Amino acid sequence: MEFLRDLWLFLKERKKYWLIPIIIVLFLLGLLIVFGGSSAVAPFVYTLF
């Protein structure tokens, strides 16, 4: 949790709010890869890429 706090403080201090959507998309893609590779949804996830 400290990493997320430091990241938020960095974004707030440097006024880099445009990075927030990029971070969210990367996080969601990571979740898709992790959970999609080990479930019954895997064949459908692989068709996206």
Give me the residue spans of the domains in the chain.
Answer: 2-48
What is the structure's pLDDT at 45?
A: 66
Mean pLDDT of 29-42: 75
Q: Is there a contact between 36 and 30 (Cβ–Cβ < 8 Å)?
A: no
Q: What is the pTM of this model?
A: 0.62
Q: Is there a contact between 30 and 22 (Cβ–Cβ < 8 Å)?
A: no
pLDDT, tens digit, 9 for 90 and up, residues 3-34: 889 988 988 888 888 888 999 999 998 887 77
